[in-house]
Amino acid sequence: MNLEQLLSLDYPLTRLVIGLLCIFAFVGLNGLVLVWVERKVAGHCQLRPGPLHVGPHGLLQPLVDAVKLIGKQLVAPFGSDKALFWLAPLLAFAPVTVCMLPLPWGPDMAMIPMNTGLVLILAFSGLGVLSLILAGWGSNNKWGLLGAARSVAQSVAYEVPLLLSVMAVAITAGSLDLFQISAQQGGWPWQWYGVKNPLAFFIFLVCAVAETNRAPFDLPEAESELTAGFHTEYSGMGFGLFFLAEYANMIIVSGVAAALFLGGWQGPFLPGVWWFLVKIYCILFFIIWLRWTYPRVRFDQLLNLSWKWLTPLALLDLALAVIVAGFGG
């Protein structure tokens, strides 16, 4: 094999390395931007200005915060399981990179083209909860443990309706490939699955917020009751990685929602990747807006919502999708 072959994008390893580099750059940059957006939205929702003094309109504030986080000493609590304690933040971040690979950024922009992208994302996003358990267990801390226990119950409860709502769309589209599902919708809102099947879209959004542990479903970290839940004992970049993983997970669920329900990269006038980014950021903004509007739900409310409302509704929606697809196809 010569050098030319090795450096071409068709060579899988080269493609993977370049893809991962792009993902890391994108996730890192987005973390900074989203932290800023989050704090700005929080401020304006409460009639405050938000960060304002570091850089124009506080734009450089997250950068300064990141420098502070990186500069901090890494401390593991006395009596903690050191191996698990340091493995957890790495494990929280690792699935993110895999889940980013099959996202359809544009009609011909895939890190790695595959026909079961949806399955890959769903499988690896389930890994994220494992890191929360390890973090909570490894820190030897009662709040950490409680947060970990909550995160397990929550993720088990919400993965079911999430899978069902995704399945309804996959059956309608007849594919598990995010590219094909996007391609089957059109550029206009009435051609989107989110408009054709609003119930699935609604269920997916609620479950996505719950799966990413965002308010109002942020029970695993619940500041007011559990200090910081599973990441109580983490400081510096240990905390930073959890933080970055949370924002990266938000990007993934928004990306999947955009591809499944909002027509992916399709839209008039602009090239594909811009439409995909616009849709992702609209959903991200909505998730952030939710956080600064609603108070945290109680644990029984959280589980009731999933098992008594979302799961039956998702089953109903799935049955309808099957019937419609059966008659239509």
Partner 1 sequence: MSVSQLIEEAYTGLKSLVIGLGVTGKALTQPGVTVLYPMEEVERDNLVTYRGHVELIGKDEDPAVPRCVACGACVKACPSNCITILCPVAAKEGEEAGPVKMGPAPQKGSKTPGEFIVDFSLCSLCGQCAKTCPVDSLQFSDNPYMVSFDRKDFRIDLLARLRRMARDEAVAGE
CA proximity to 117, closest of 174, 159, 180, 186: 180
Q: How far is the CB of 294 from partner 1 (least distance, A)?
A: 6
Residue 115 or 293 with smaller CB distance to partner 1:
293
Site string for partner 1, 223-262 (x = CB under 8 A): ----------------------------------------
Range 20-39 burial, b when 16+ CB lie within 10 A, else e: eeebeeebeebbbebbbbbb
CB of 44 to partner 1, least distance (A): 5
Q: Per CB under 8 A, which of residues 296..325 are in contact with partner 1?
A: 309
CA distance 282 to 285: 5
Identify residues 25-84 at the interface with partner 1 (CB under 8 A): 41, 43-49, 52
> Which x/- pattern, by CB under 8 A, does the window 101-140 give for partner 1?
----------------------------------------
216: CB partners within 8 A, 6+ apart: 209, 290, 291, 294, 295, 296, 297
Near partner 1 in 143-172, by CB under 8 A: none
Closest CA to 98 of 116, 127, 124, 126: 124
Complex with partner 1: residue 274 or 294, whichever CB lies closer: 294
Instruction: Answer yes or no whether residue 290 interacts with partner 1 by CB under 8 A.
Output: yes
- Shortest Cβ 47–partner 1 spacing (Å): 5
Q: What is the DSSP string of 56-119?
A: GGGTTHHHHHHHHHHHSPP---TT--HHHHHHHHHHHHHHHHHHHTT---BTTB-SS--TTHHH
Which range of residues in 19-27, 109-117, 247-255, 286-294 is near partner 1 by CB under 8 A? 286-294
Minimum Å gap between C-beta 49 and partner 1 is 5
Which DSSP state fits 324? H
Given the rule CB under 8 A, which residues bind partner 1? 41, 43-49, 52, 289-290, 292-294, 309
